[in-house]
Structure 1
Amino acid sequence: MLDELIKKNRSYRKFAQVTIKCDEIKKILEILRFVPSARNAQPLKYIASCNKEKNEQIFSTLKWAGYLTDWNGPDKTQKPSAYIVILQDKSISNDNFVLTDAGIALQTILLKSVEMGFGGCTIAAIDKPRLSSILNLKENLEILYVVAIGKPAETIEIIDVKDDIKYYRINDIHYVPKRSLSELIYAIIE
Structure 2
Amino acid sequence: MNSKNFQDLVRSSRSYRRFAEDEPLSYGDLAALVNAARFAPSGNNMQTLRFHIAVEPAERSAVFSRLHWAAQLRDWNGPAAGERPTGYIAVCAPKALAANPIRLIDTGIAAQTIALAAASRGLGCCMLRSFDPDLNDVMGVSAVDYVTELVLALGERGERVALATSETEHGLAYWRDDEGIHHVPKLALEDLLV
What TM bracket, shorter-length normalisation? over 0.9
Give the C-alpha shift of residue 65 in structure 1: 0.5
Question: What is the identity percentage for the equivalent residue pairs of Structure 1 and Structure 2?
Answer: 31
Listed as ranges, the gaps of 5+ residues in structure 1 are: none
Partner of 2:163: 158
Give the C-alpha shift of residue 92 in structure 1: 6.6
8 A Cα contact 1:11 1:122, kept in partner: yes
**Partner-residue secondary structure (3-state), 2:143:** coil
* 1:97 maps onto 2:93 in alignment: no
**Partner-residue secondary structure (3-state), 2:30:** helix
- TM-score by length of structure 2 reads 0.91
* 1:168 maps onto 2:175 in alignment: yes
Listed as ranges, the gaps of 5+ residues in structure 2 are: none
Cα distance in structure 2, aligned partners of 1:38 and 1:72: 36
8 A Cα contact 1:43 1:90, kept in partner: no
8 A Cα contact 1:161 1:179, kept in partner: yes
- 1:135-185 per-residue CA deviation (whole Å, 9 max, x = no partner) reads 222262111010000011111111111252100111111111100111011
8 A Cα contact 2:98 2:147, kept in partner: no
Pick one of 79, 85, 88 that aligns with 1:83. Answer: 88
Amino acid at match of 1:12: Y
8 A Cα contact 2:10 2:116, kept in partner: yes
- TM-score by length of structure 1 reads 0.93
Q: Which runs of 4+ in 1 moved over 4 A?
A: 91-94
* 1:63 maps onto 2:71 in alignment: no
Q: CA RMSD in A?
A: 1.4
Partner of 1:184: 192
